[in-house]
Chains A and B, each alone.
Chain A
């Protein structure tokens, strides 16, 4: 390790991940599908086992020891999640995942849209950040506009400015593209959106796991992310919302735990954040997410970002030096997600042959079909990195690509 830097130690990190010890098709697993979901460290797995094994109970209800312990653990995870993005406790709502977070906003705020209102998303959105808007706009007679991307795969900021006007009510843009790895200038977008009186929503599913996040510094009104892409369990995610906005919003799901007082005629809702969390929540999930955040904070999000930057620069260098490989997205200033295609070979075949070598990548349209049509690709192969990945694994992927050529083209 270089002295004086805070370079993270991937080899000691790897020891915390039991799954990295397994073999796939007789080869050591090389996991490069982190944009889909990350692996989980022992600390997260243990926290979930500890909850179910030692203090399993429902939260916020029972006046007994187990319920108190469970409530305490669950709510202290919320505190960690809030601190992780520099949000307030009341502004940090637990959901199922980023998709549900975005749907919550779309349903609660979107239902107030009317004819002539406009919603702005970009061409690089994941389906989860435009299908809800598309459907709400269809229902409400509002107009959905798409900000174009340029040749490099960056957001066209002139086009964004052109999409904004006094009718714009909502701007919802991804922080990092799950296909192109583009990092969007969210602070600048927040300012542009607010200048025309619109709300700004950030899909942080691909950024929260990989870089420091600060909702105050971004200046966004809402921000969504998932636990399972950042070392935590599936089935739990976060929606951040500004308190004054959340206070004025209708809940999206009704039921228990979100109620202050119910009569046969009406209901007074619970205070924030529970107002938006009807029903028994994913308690184990929340606790697991807390453990994941603790693990990431110990490493430091700056160091996580630097490690992945180093890996993606290395991988880009290797892939771009091959004549028959087309890499999508910007060449510089990007996150650790790299989409590519081998000339004349379908992404599924690339992924399937890499799998024979124990290497897990994604092949397909990555839930971004409009973007695929913009890129004129039916799909791409995608390698995405995290804290436990190494340069050697990227070398192994590059050699395995030789095998893909050999099998499918005889080259």
Chain B
């Protein structure tokens, strides 16, 4: 199956939650040096430590852009523990297209970036 399915292309050309948040509770930026993909995530938390608002900025291939868009939709309203527990397999299931070994980093960049941001946030609170 082709990875450029309609839902991927839809998220690529009409990304959800694209943009920035001023003074976010969580912010992290990372790159995938292999292809130069770049993702920054911004999130605001509510009192119960769930993600109330999330946005991202990204530059890169269709897979990295679409996965960032789909991930932000998926995690809104979820608790930090839940989001931190999302596995690579979960992310690939969310994408619903077969990701080859060489594109894996593109597909997982947004998730890894968000989880790194959560880790930084949790450490900062200790």
CB-nearest residue of chain A relative to B106? A348
CB-nearest residue of chain B relative to A350? B61
Residues B49-99 near A (CB distance < 8 A) = 59-63
- List of B residues within 8 angstroms of A148 by Cβ: none
CB-nearest residue of chain A relative to B34? A364
Q: Does B12 contact A (CB under 8 A)?
A: yes
Q: B37 is contacted by which of A356, A369, A378, A409 (Cβ under 8 Å)?
A: A378
Q: A378 is contacted by which of B12, B38, B63, B103 (Cβ under 8 Å)?
A: B38
With A348-B61, A408-B9 known to touch, is A378 a contact of B36 (CB < 8 Å)? yes
With A348-B103, A352-B103 known to touch, is A408 a contact of B12 (CB < 8 Å)? yes
Q: B35 is contacted by which of A356, A378, A409 (Cβ under 8 Å)?
A: A378
Give, as a whole number of angstroms, the nearest-CB distance from A131 to chain B: 14
- The complex places the Cα of A67 from the Cα of B49 at a distance, in Å, of 72
CB-nearest residue of chain B relative to A353? B4
Find out whether the CB atom of A363 lies under 8 angstroms from the CB atom of B36: no
- The complex places the Cα of A19 from the Cα of B72 at a distance, in Å, of 44
Residues A335-366 near B (CB distance < 8 A) = 346-349, 352-353, 356, 363-365
Give, as a whole number of angstroms, the nearest-CB distance from B87 to chain A: 24
- The complex places the Cα of A389 from the Cα of B79 at a distance, in Å, of 55
Q: How large is the interface on B (under 10, 10 to 19, 20 to 34, 35 or more residues)?
A: 10 to 19
How does the 8 Å CB contact mask read for B28-47 relative to A, with 1 for contact and 0 for none?
00000111111000000000
Find out whether the CB atom of B36 lies under 8 angstroms from the CB atom of A356: no
Q: Does B48 contact A (CB under 8 A)?
A: no
CB-nearest residue of chain A relative to B38? A378
How does the 8 Å CB contact mask read for A351-394 relative to B, with 1 for contact and 0 for none?
01100100000011100010010000111000000000000000
Of the candidates A348, A356, A379, A408, the one having the most CB atoms from chain B within 10 angstroms of its own CB is: A348
Q: Does A13 contact B (CB under 8 A)?
A: no
Q: Does A325 contact B (CB under 8 A)?
A: no
Find out whether the CB atom of A365 lies under 8 angstroms from the CB atom of B36: yes
Q: Does A407 contact B (CB under 8 A)?
A: yes
- The complex places the Cα of A348 from the Cα of B38 at a distance, in Å, of 14
- List of A residues within 8 angstroms of B35 by Cβ: 346-348, 363-365, 378-379
Q: Does B23 contact A (CB under 8 A)?
A: no
Find out whether the CB atom of B36 lies under 8 angstroms from the CB atom of A349: no
- The complex places the Cα of A352 from the Cα of B12 at a distance, in Å, of 15
Find out whether the CB atom of B36 lies under 8 angstroms from the CB atom of A372: yes
CB-nearest residue of chain B relative to A346? B61
Give, as a whole number of angstroms, the nearest-CB distance from A343 to chain B: 14
- List of B residues within 8 angstroms of A356 by Cβ: 2
- The complex places the Cα of A408 from the Cα of B9 at a distance, in Å, of 7
- List of B residues within 8 angstroms of A379 by Cβ: 35-36
Q: Does B21 contact A (CB under 8 A)?
A: no
- The complex places the Cα of A330 from the Cα of B2 at a distance, in Å, of 35
Q: A408 is contacted by which of B4, B34, B103, B106 (Cβ under 8 Å)?
A: B4
Give, as a whole number of angstroms, the nearest-CB distance from A400 to chain B: 13
Contacts A378-B35, A408-B4 supplied; 18 other A-B pairs, CB < 8 Å: A346-B60, A346-B61, A347-B35, A348-B35, A348-B60, A348-B103, A348-B106, A349-B4, A349-B63, A352-B3, A352-B4, A352-B103, A364-B35, A365-B34, A377-B36, A378-B59, A379-B35, A407-B9
Which A residues form the contact surface with B (CB < 8 A)? Answer: 346-349, 352-353, 356, 363-365, 369, 372, 377-379, 407-410
